[in-house]
Amino acid sequence: MMSETDNYPDLEKETDIVNNEEFLSTPEATNEDDSTVLETDFESAQTVDESNQNIMKEDSPEGEAQNTASDNNVIDEVTQTQLTSLEEEIASLKTQLETQKTQTKDFKDQFLRLTADFENFRRRTSKEKEELEQIIKKKTINELLPVVDNFERARTQIKPANDGEMTIHKSYQGVYKTFVDSLKKIGVSAMRPEGELFDPNYHEAMLREPTKEYPEGTVIEQLVRGYLLNDIVLRHAMVKVAAPSEEESETEFMDTDENISEVKQS
């Protein structure tokens, strides 16, 4: 069997709404809601007060000082860390610099030593080269000097008797002149010792001739010509040297005997 409300669904809705309004209008419901609202408002106000107090603390000079001090402490710690790192880096760079200075000094000393050694080697090599050149020149020219001697002997001993012989004589004398000029170009020069005092560094005495024309020890004649290569003796000149005459020798001998007898008597 259907009830009256089944036929009126809208009436049920209106009844529920009225019941709810009546429930809300009761004192108990109102008190509970008010207490809930008051508690919520109190907590919110307390939170706001704490926030305001924190803000006031931060805005106050003491709060600012504390914040500044804390910030300064943080900055000091960071700065100290950076300073420590920089000091370590500076110390490392100083060590590297000292190492580089030491290596540079060592390299410089080594370079100077090598330069000095190379300069000494260059001078020694140059000197040895010059000496070797002189030795080779001297040895080669000494082998050619007998040829010059033969040309000179031929010039003094051969006397051309006719035009044909004169032509031949002039021809080999021309060769001799060319040969001598070539020797002069490489520094060879002939000695002219006649009239000079005997010098064993340049002369070789082959004969001693008593004479009054020259002082004792003077070179009278050059028997075999001597030659020089610049200042080096290629061949000593073979010469005849003046000696005291026989009369002078006898006088000197008598004077010597008289001096000896005087010494014995004294």
Give pLDDT tens digits for 45-102: 455 455 555 545 445 555 555 556 666 676 677 788 888 888 889 999 999 999 999 9
Q: What secondary structure, in 3-state letters, does the chain show?
A: CCCCCCCCHHHHHHHHHHHHHHHHHCHHHHHHHHHHHHHHHHHHHHHHHHHHHHHHHHHCHHHHHHHHHHHHHHHHHHHHHHHHHHHHHHHHHHHHHHHHHHHHHHHHHHHHHHHHHHHHHHHHHHHHHHHHHHHHHHHHHHHHHHHHHHHHHHHHHCCCCCHHHHHHHHHHHHHHHHHHHHHHHCCEEECCCCCCECCCCCEEEEEEEECCCCCCCEEEEEEECCEEECCEEEECEEEEEEECCHHHHHHHHHHHHHHHHHHHHC
Which residues, at least 6 apart from 244, have a Cβ–Cβ distance to it below 8 Å?
A: 210, 216, 252
End-to-end CA distance of the chain: 205
Contact 237, 226 (CB under 8 A): yes
For the entire predicted model, the pTM comes to 0.50
Domain spans of the chain, in order of start = 114-186, 189-249
- pLDDT for 51 equals 53
- Across the chain, which has 266 residues, the per-10-residue mean pLDDT values are 45 50 45 45 52 51 57 74 88 91 92 93 91 88 89 82 83 88 90 90 91 88 90 90 71 47 49
- Tokens 């010469």 — which residue? 239
Q: What angle do CA 229, 235, 241 make, to 5 degrees?
A: 125
**Which CATH number is 189-249 given?**
2.30.22.10
Q: In what order do the strands lie in the sheet with 227-229?
A: 188-190, 227-229, 232-235
Distances (CA, A) of 32 to 26, 37, 64, 172, 212: 10, 9, 45, 161, 173
C-alpha dist (Å) from residue 161 to 134, 156, 169, 173, 203: 43, 14, 10, 16, 37
pLDDT computed for residue 262 by the predictor? 55
